[in-house]
Amino acid sequence: MKRTLVGLLLLVLLAAGLWAGGQSAGDDESEFDYVVGFANIAESNETLVALGDSMVREGNALGMEVIRVDNNADGARAVQNMDDLITIGVDAVVQFNVDVSVAPAIMEKAEEAGIPVFAVDIPHPGATFFGANNVTAGTIAGEFIAEIINDEWGGELDALVLVDQIASGELPRQRILAAVPVLEAEVPGFSEDELFIVEGGTDPATAQQAVADFLAGNPDMSRIAILSLQDDAFRGVVAAVEVAGREGDVIGVTNNEAFFLEHAIANPEEDFFRGAVTFYLPEYGRFLMPTVREVLDGAAAPENVYVGHEIVTRANMDELFPNLR
């Protein structure tokens, strides 16, 4: 009966444009032990599509049918998707929702339905948190930036610009904020007087405008370090720096490696975009889905499941990602 209902609801999701597709949910000959909903943050770029593919692939391999929907970086859509997945009758939901303000509504619906939730990167009260160890990521980024400042700029810095994403909440913000005490400890003379936070939003255009405005307002600064909370925003950072012709004044680092790898392949010679903190987003399914299966089989839900982090640069990218090229 559940499989018939799943098929009917998938038709509804397709008609509404909410289903992201990509899973084997419509194959009546397939047999799975559980049905898991995956609400992706968006399906707007190759990295996020690959993330969704990994959730489906790893879930299927572990005997779980995966119903995949697109939150489209919108809180209201995430709430609607949660309603639809509960109506289908999923056994669990993996929720990648960027808007923390709707997290209580999502979790209230899950509690009423009696299903576990695994919140990707953005904490949802009562859900198992999966994703970045945000403080660790920010600390690693800070150490990398401090090393460059000390080695190349003699420990001198005019500005540390953090490209933020306020909507994601306080925990993800540690990917950038945790870098600040590292620079205070390791870069002589750095203080919060040199700290600037700009809002990068959830799209490259917003980040580009914010960084462009900062650069235009500070034409005499020649030692600017920029750290972004996420790599889609850093696309805008690169555009702003290049349009302003300020490549020689900036060093840049981002969280999430996908755009850095793309940029480094296209620009093999060292430039201002120095590296990224790894998150392995396209492999999130490999890290998370075994835990989802264990919980559905009766294990206690853990509070946190983390991925590992390190700095990827042009020097080590082929070692860390041997199948990249």
CATH number for the domain that contains residue 178: 3.40.50.2300
Neighbours of 253 (CB within 10 A): 25
Q: In whole angstroms, give the CA distance from residue 49 to residue 45.
A: 6
Instruction: Supply the pTM of this predicted model.
Output: 0.79
In a domain, 213, yes or no: yes
In a domain, 269, yes or no: yes
In a domain, 320, yes or no: no
In a domain, 9, yes or no: yes
Q: Are residues 257 and 299 in the same domain?
A: no
Q: Using DSSP bridges, classify how beta strands 273-277 and 250-255 pair: parallel, antiparallel or unpaired.
A: parallel
Q: Are residues 22 and 100 in the same domain?
A: yes
Structural domain range at position 34: 2-131+283-307
Residues of the chain with pLDDT under 50: 1, 3-5, 8, 11-12, 14-17, 22, 24-28
Give the per-residue pLDDT at 202: 84
Q: How many domains does the chain have?
A: 2
Q: What is the pLDDT of residues 202-211, one digit of tens each?
A: 889 999 999 9
First to last CA, the chain: 45
Q: Where does residue 304 fall: left (phi above 0), alpha (psi -120 to 50 degrees), or beta otherwise?
A: beta
Sheet holding 64-70, edge to edge: 64-70, 34-40, 92-95, 117-120, 128-131, 304-306
Q: Are residues 145 and 271 in the same domain?
A: yes
Give the per-residue pLDDT at 20: 59
In a domain, 315, yes or no: no
Q: Are residues 113 and 196 in the same domain?
A: no
Supply the DSSP symbol for 249.
G
Q: In whole angstroms, give the CA distance from residue 32 to residue 62.
A: 9
Q: Are residues 142 and 243 in the same domain?
A: yes
Neighbours of 209 (CB within 10 A): 17
Q: Are residues 94 and 168 in the same domain?
A: no
Give the per-residue pLDDT at 46: 87
In a domain, 299, yes or no: yes
Q: In whole angstroms, give the CA distance from residue 45 to residue 221.
A: 33
